[in-house]
Structures are given as structure tokens and as C-alpha cells.
């Protein structure tokens, strides 16, 4: 897609209708794809090697608002639970004759019986959960403490500095070479 819609380039490789694919645009597309891949793999690596609890604790310690951290991390566990709830809702409505196998148009009309209870039921649950965490001091202004100790070893620090140095070197090289 990127290759098709990129206007620059002179060396036309082939034509597709009125859109040209040039060597330059292919290279451009390749670069974009690589960037996206790097970002996704970095993020995935982060998620796979770091326990969500630790990630959130550490971010909170460094200034991320507690409420934000809570919303992110609780959704990791609660959303799968909501999936189970959604299954029950589907079963309940099928038991009332809702045909989940009929034509597309009928199914569009049939969304409300499935989505409605999920949304309304969730609103009730959210209020209760808010009360429950409030009852455990969630909105307290006192400075928070952490059960898990996140160690910041000299090794960790060294790696961070090395990586930072690599980024700077790469930037310098890029500017110098261009």
C-alpha cells in the first residue's frame, strides 16, 4: 500500500492501473514496515518479560497517575472475565429464541440483546468495584508504598546508559552521513 501511494521516485518498476510502484517507493515501504516491526517487537518483548504488576508499580513510582495505572492493569484481568460474561449473555438470549445463525441483516438487529446486558451489567459492576477499591483507600492522598521491590541493580543501570549511548551515536552518525 505504502509502495503504491508514495509519489516520489523515478525508477518505475511496474505499473498498476494509474498507480506507479517505483524502486524508491518500495524502499520507503520497506523502511516503514521495518519501523513498525521494531516498535511492535519491542513492545511485545516488554510485555512478555515484565510482569504487568511490576510494570505498573514501577511506572507509578516514577510518576504515572495511580488511577491510570489501575485502569490499565485491572483491564488485563477483568476483560477476559467479561468475555465469560458475554458468553453467558449469548446463551441466555439464544435460550429466548434469538437466532445467532440467521442472515446478516437480522443479526445486526440482534446485536442489542447481546451488547445491552453486557454494557448495563458492566455499569452496575463498575460502580460496585469503585466502592470496593474506595473502601481500600484507593483515593487516599497519602504517599503510596509498594509491596514488590523493584530492584534497580548496577547492571540494569549500566545497560540503560549503554543503550542511551547507542541511540546518541546512531543519531550522530545519521546526521553526519546525510
Residues in the site for another protein, rule: CB under 8 A?
51-53, 56, 70, 73-78, 81, 85, 88-89, 91-101, 112-113, 115-117, 120-121, 124-125, 128-149
Q: Which three cell numbers stand for residue 99?
A: 437466532
Which lies closer to another protein via its Cβ, residue 132 or residue 162?
Answer: 132
Which lies closer to another protein via its Cβ, residue 26 or residue 133?
Answer: 133
- Distance, in Å, from the CA atom of 29 to the CA atom of 23, rounded to the nearest integer, reads 10
Pinpoint the alpha helices (H) of the chain. Answer: 2-5, 23-49, 52-61, 66-94, 104-109, 112-134, 154-177
CA dist 16 → 4, 8, 20, 113 (Å)? 8, 16, 6, 46
Which lies closer to another protein via its Cβ, residue 1 or residue 84?
Answer: 84
Which lies closer to another protein via its Cβ, residue 97 or residue 154?
Answer: 97
CB of 167 to another protein, least distance (A): 33
Residue 151, phi-psi category: left (phi > 0), alpha (psi -120 to 50), beta (remainder): beta
CB of 46 to another protein, least distance (A): 17
SS3 readout for 72-95: HHHHHHHHHHHHHHHHHHHHHHHC
CB of 110 to another protein, least distance (A): 9
CB of 51 to another protein, least distance (A): 7
Which lies closer to another protein via its Cβ, residue 51 or residue 160?
Answer: 51
CB of 129 to another protein, least distance (A): 5
Amino acid at each position: 500500500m505504502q509502495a503504491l501511494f508514495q509519489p516520489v521516485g523515478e525508477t518505475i518498476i511496474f505499473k498498476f492501473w494509474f498507480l506507479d510502484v517505483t524502486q524508491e517507493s518500495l524502499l520507503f515501504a520497506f523502511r516503514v514496515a521495518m519501523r513498525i516491526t521494531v516498535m511492535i517487537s519491542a513492545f511485545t518483548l516488554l510485555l512478555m518479560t515484565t510482569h504487568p504488576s511490576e510494570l505498573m508499580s514501577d511506572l507509578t513510582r516514577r510518576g504515572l497517575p495511580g488511577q491510570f495505572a489501575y485502569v490499565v492493569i485491572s483491564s488485563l484481568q477483568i476483560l477476559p472475565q467479561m468475555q465469560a460474561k458475554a458468553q453467558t449473555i449469548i446463551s441466555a438470549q439464544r435460550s429466548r429464541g434469538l437466532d445467532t445463525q440467521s442472515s446478516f441483516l437480522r443479526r445486526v438487529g440482534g446485536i442489542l440483546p447481546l451488547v445491552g446486558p453486557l454494557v448495563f451489567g458492566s455499569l452496575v459492576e463498575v460502580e460496585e468495584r469503585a466502592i470496593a477499591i474506595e473502601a481500600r483507600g484507593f483515593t487516599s492522598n497519602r504517599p503510596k508504598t509498594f509491596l514488590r521491590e523493584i530492584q534497580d541493580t548496577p547492571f540494569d543501570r549500566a545497560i540503560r546508559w549503554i543503550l542511551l549511548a547507542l541511540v546518541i551515536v546512531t543519531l550522530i552518525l545519521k546526521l553526519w552521513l546525510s
